[in-house]
Amino acid sequence: MSKLRVHSLALSLDGFATGEGQSFEAPFGHAGGRLMEWFFPTRTFVGMSGHEDEAVGAGTVGVDDAFASATERNIGAEIMGRGKFGPQTGPWEDDSWRGWWGDEPPFHTPVVVLTHHERPDLVVGETTFLFRQLAPHAALELATELADGRDVRLGGGPTVVREFLEADLVDHLHIVVVPIVLGRGVRLWDGLEGLEERFTVEVTASPSGVVHYVFSRRP
């Protein structure tokens, strides 16, 4: 049975998954890279970004990498919000924007991009982006079909994750709480009162200072 999984969604102590003022130069707004600093030293990130030969070496392989590396396992498709694909809003002016990731995006699967403004499917390297206006249930149905027996990753941002949690479609939710107070931005938990009743929760603190929460939906 195909599952819907969220991985490595980082939050500040006050529950913000992204800062205020997102733009092309600042995809996380005023949060900058602070929500992902735990991730950058991991072998998983170093491998993804092709930096094996640089000073950072091959990357760390501790708790943070153990969680980071689970992101890729047995994933056949991703669902993401338009804000993760690009900083533009409103109708597409043209089809020149091909995402943040260059010629070989790290997905290597079909990616369903949820948007009110559809555009033709886009193939970049091994990844195909499908731009669709779909409610959570329908988006999951499409992505599950594309995943061909493997799981579906829900890639964010936080507003999209919240919508799928409200619809009770998420099976596995991995949250990383970073010990900073952002003060403003987009919150994850709003409207999710009592979420813990639908999940079991496992908690692991990392020497890096972040805490990994894994919420597994109760059968």
Residue 182 interacts with a second copy (CB under 8 A)? yes
Q: CB of residue 183 vs a second copy: minimum separation in angstroms?
A: 3
Q: CB of residue 198 vs a second copy: minimum separation in angstroms?
A: 10
Q: Distance (Å, rounded) from C-alpha 98 to C-alpha 60?
A: 31
Q: Which stretch binds a second copy (CB under 8 A): 77-85, 132-140, 143-151, 174-182?
A: 174-182
H, E, C per residue of 26-92 = CCCHHHCCHHHCCCCCEHHHHHHCCCCCCCCCCCECCHHHHHHHHHHCCEEEEEEEHHHHCCCCCCC
In this chain, which of 1, 103, 181, 218 binds a second copy, going by CB under 8 A? 181
Q: Which stretch binds a second copy (CB under 8 A): 107-115, 134-142, 152-160, 203-211?
A: 203-211
Q: Of 2-41, which residues contact a second copy (CB under 8 A)? A: 13-15
Handedness of CA 30, 204, 84, 140 (dihedral sign): negative
Binding pattern to a second copy, positions 134-173, x when CB under 8 A? ----------------------------------------
Q: Distance (Å, rounded) from C-alpha 93 to C-alpha 201?
A: 44
Structure tokens at 119: 């555009």
Residue 189 interacts with a second copy (CB under 8 A)? yes
Residue 113 interacts with a second copy (CB under 8 A)? no
Characterise 114 by phi-psi region: left (phi > 0), alpha (psi -120 to 50), beta (else): beta
Q: CB of residue 156 vs a second copy: minimum separation in angstroms?
A: 17
- 88-91 long-range contacts, CB within 8 A, separation 24+: 90/117, 91/117
Residue 61 interacts with a second copy (CB under 8 A)? no
Q: CB of residue 205 vs a second copy: minimum separation in angstroms?
A: 4
Residue 1 interacts with a second copy (CB under 8 A)? no
Residue 176 interacts with a second copy (CB under 8 A)? no
Token pair 């369903």: residue? 112
Residue 196 interacts with a second copy (CB under 8 A)? yes
Residue 193 interacts with a second copy (CB under 8 A)? yes
Query: In whole angstroms, how large is the CA radius of gyration of the chain?
Result: 17
Whether omega before 83 lies within 30 degrees of 0, making that bond cis, reads no
The single-letter code of the amino acid at 151 is D
Residue 179 interacts with a second copy (CB under 8 A)? yes
Binding-site ranges for a second copy (CB under 8 A): 13-15, 177, 179-184, 187, 189-196, 201, 203-206, 209-211, 213
